[in-house]
């Protein structure tokens, strides 16, 4: 009992360790902590972790209307944005196929005229079809025995074999639909390339079995029509023919098979179209992710705190450095005027390229502007500018002297009564001793 409890705790700890980062954390990284999005863009919080090579990722889709612009793959353990093109390609393929699957099922549920075959409903339908075909085998045996007793040859034996085959196919199809339902559920709840492949294979098996069952049904119907014609022109009496007629009707389940096959064909085409379009746009999605990463990187170079600038100058960011250095009152005070001009030009280009979404050029200009700002700052101000901007000692002494005189005057004013009394007293004292 204790061992089971310890194993349960270990499982909980392991699960928490693997997914230390939540879906909300992943969204915050993309939306709030970075500069990947443009104004007005939307995103969808992911609700399942996508697996790739044993690691889990929260794949956040960035959307514009019904279209996906790109995905942001966030490592569910470290919280870092994946920078591996190979990993991202695999993740995007799985995430985009999952999205397309959900969109297709949503469109079908809103009344597209095509049923989703991979359900318990159709599992039951084809299971019951297999059982009903077995019942028809006994009816064919009766027909064959009657014709043989009358010395009439027929294809009843071939039809019986066909019924047996279709009965097995129906049972196999019912099991395949059950497997496809489970494979789909596994993929939706734990998406990965392996589970996606398994789901697609299970779908293909169902479509293949429905096609084979439909072909067998058409062949059986053709053989049944021949048998009816043979009986109608045979020497059997009218009463016997009338008794055999109900036994030669097409099984009801096979009559509906044509519609099931048509539905399966339309569903397969819909799935193929969506999965194919997903495959074709992976390169575009990857390129857009690279652009968004570059956007974030350039934005940080221009506007965010920069370690290099912080170390080499008094400025925290490039935008703050250029604002202070190129301010109207400071512009002409720097010793290195050539670098100041380069700073002005490179910063303007960086911002301009950034706004035009030409991030490679914007990054080059921003890096140059950072070096320009450092060069200007290290060279310092012009010597005369330092004197002009500073306060001379002579001026300080004059100010101190003026302040001292002012204090004396204030003292005399505030104590004028006492001082006047002292002066009068001295005059009287002088008069007494005269």
Give pLDDT tens digits for 318-351.
999 999 999 999 999 999 999 999 999 999 999 9
Quickly state the pLDDT bin for 5 (edges 50, 70, 90).
Answer: very low
In this prediction, residue 390 carries a pLDDT of: 45
Q: How far apart, in whole angstroms, are the C-alpha atoms of residue 166 and residue 215? A: 10
Report whether pLDDT(14) > 70.
Answer: no
Quickly state the pLDDT bin for 144 (edges 50, 70, 90).
Answer: confident
Is residue 308 within 8 A of residue 370, CB to CB? The reply is: yes
Give residue limits of the domains in the chain.
Answer: 2-81, 120-255, 305-388, 393-432
Strands 67-75 and 50-52: unpaired
Report whether pLDDT(289) > 60.
Answer: yes
Report whether pLDDT(74) > 50.
Answer: yes
pLDDT tens, position by position, 361-383: 999 999 999 999 999 999 999 87
CA 409 to chain centre: 79
Rounded to whole angstroms, what are the CA distances from 126 to 167, 176, 257, 312, 386?
9, 10, 10, 76, 93
Quickly state the pLDDT bin for 8 (edges 50, 70, 90).
Answer: very low
R_g of the chain computed on alpha carbons = 44
- Taking each helix axis from N to C end, the angle separating 156-189 and 85-109, rounded to the nearest 10 degrees, works out to 120
Residue in the block written with tokens 């505030």: 414
**CA angle, 118 then 124 then 130, to 5°:** 115
Rounded to whole angstroms, what are the CA distances from 11 to 5, 6, 16, 186, 190?
10, 9, 9, 20, 17
Choose the weakest-confidence range: 67-81, 88-102, 138-152, 389-403.
389-403
Comparing 5 with 165, which gets the higher pLDDT?
Answer: 165
Choose the weakest-confidence range: 239-253, 262-276, 379-393.
379-393
In this prediction, residue 112 carries a pLDDT of: 66
Q: Which among 314, 388, 359 is positioned nearest to 38, based on CA atoms?
A: 359
Q: Which among 271, 122, 263 is positioned nearest to 196, based on CA atoms?
A: 271
pLDDT tens, position by position, 85-128: 999 999 999 999 999 999 999 988 777 688 999 999 999 999 99
Strands 55-64 and 50-52: antiparallel
Q: How far apart, in whole angstroms, are the C-alpha atoms of residue 44 and residue 71? A: 10
Is residue 343 within 8 A of residue 376, CB to CB? The reply is: yes
Report whether pLDDT(1) > 70.
Answer: no
Q: What is the pTM of this model?
A: 0.77
In this prediction, residue 297 carries a pLDDT of: 97
Helix (H, G, I), strand (E, B) or coil at 69: strand
Overall size of the chain counted in residues:
434
Q: How far apart, in whole angstroms, are the C-alpha atoms of residue 138 and residue 136? A: 5
Q: How far apart, in whole angstroms, are the C-alpha atoms of residue 110 and residue 104? A: 10
| H/E stretch holding 50 | strand 50-52
pLDDT averaged over the chain? 87
- Taking each helix axis from N to C end, the angle separating 156-189 and 120-149, rounded to the nearest 10 degrees, works out to 170
First-last CA distance in the chain: 123
Quickly state the pLDDT bin for 40 (edges 50, 70, 90).
Answer: confident
Q: How far apart, in whole angstroms, are the C-alpha atoms of residue 274 and residue 260? A: 21
Sequence-ordered alpha helix ranges (H) in 45-151 = 85-109, 120-149
């Amino acid at each position: 009992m204790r061992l089971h409890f310890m194993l349960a705790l270990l499982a909980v700890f392991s699960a928490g360790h693997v997914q230390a980062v939540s879906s909300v954390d992943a969204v915050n990284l993309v939306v709030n902590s970075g500069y990947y999005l443009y104004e007005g863009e939307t995103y969808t919080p992911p609700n399942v972790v996508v697996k790739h090579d044993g690691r889990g990722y929260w794949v956040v889709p960035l959307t514009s209307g019904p279209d996906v612009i790109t995905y942001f793959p966030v490592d569910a353990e470290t919280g870092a944005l994946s920078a591996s093109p190979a990993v991202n390609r695999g993740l995007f393929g799985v995430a985009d196929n999952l999205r397309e699957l959900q969109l297709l099922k949503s469109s079908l549920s809103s009344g597209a005229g095509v049923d989703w075959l991979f359900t318990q409903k159709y599992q039951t339908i084809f299971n019951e079809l297999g059982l009903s075909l077995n019942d028809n085998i006994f009816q064919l045996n009766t027909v064959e025995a009657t014709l043989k007793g009358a010395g009439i040859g027929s294809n009843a034996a071939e039809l019986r074999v066909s019924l047996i085959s279709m009965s097995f196919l129906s049972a196999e199809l019912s099991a395949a639909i059950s497997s496809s339902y489970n494979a789909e559920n596994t993929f939706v709840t734990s998406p990965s390339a392996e589970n996606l492949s398994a789901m697609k294979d299970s779908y293909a098996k169902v479509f293949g079995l429905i096609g084979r069952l439909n072909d067998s049904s058409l062949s059986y119907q053709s053989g049944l029509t021949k048998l009816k014609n043979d009986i109608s022109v045979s020497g059997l009496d009218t009463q016997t023919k009338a008794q055999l007629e109900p036994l030669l009707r097409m099984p009801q389940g096979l009559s509906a098979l044509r519609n099931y096959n048509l539905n399966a064909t339309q569903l397969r085409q819909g799935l193929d179209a969506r999965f194919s379009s997903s495959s074709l746009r992976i390169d575009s999605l990857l390129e857009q992710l690279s652009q968004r990463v570059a956007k974030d990187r350039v934005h940080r170079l221009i506007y965010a705190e920069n370690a290099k600038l912080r170390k080499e100058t008094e400025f925290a960011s490039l935008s703050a450095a250029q604002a202070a250095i190129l301010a109207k009152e400071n512009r002409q005070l720097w010793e290195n005027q050539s670098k100041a001009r380069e700073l002005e030009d490179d910063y303007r280009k960086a911002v301009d390229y950034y706004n035009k979404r030409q991030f490679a050029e914007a990054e080059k200009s921003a890096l140059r502007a950072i070096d320009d700002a450092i060069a200007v700052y290290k060279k310092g101000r012009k010597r005369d500018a330092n004197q002009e901007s500073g306060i001379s000692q002579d001026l300080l002494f004059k100010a101190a002297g003026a302040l001292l005189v002012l204090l004396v005057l204030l003292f005399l004013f505030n104590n004028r009564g006492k001082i006047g009394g002292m002066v009068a007293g001295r005059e009287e004292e002088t008069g007494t001793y005269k």
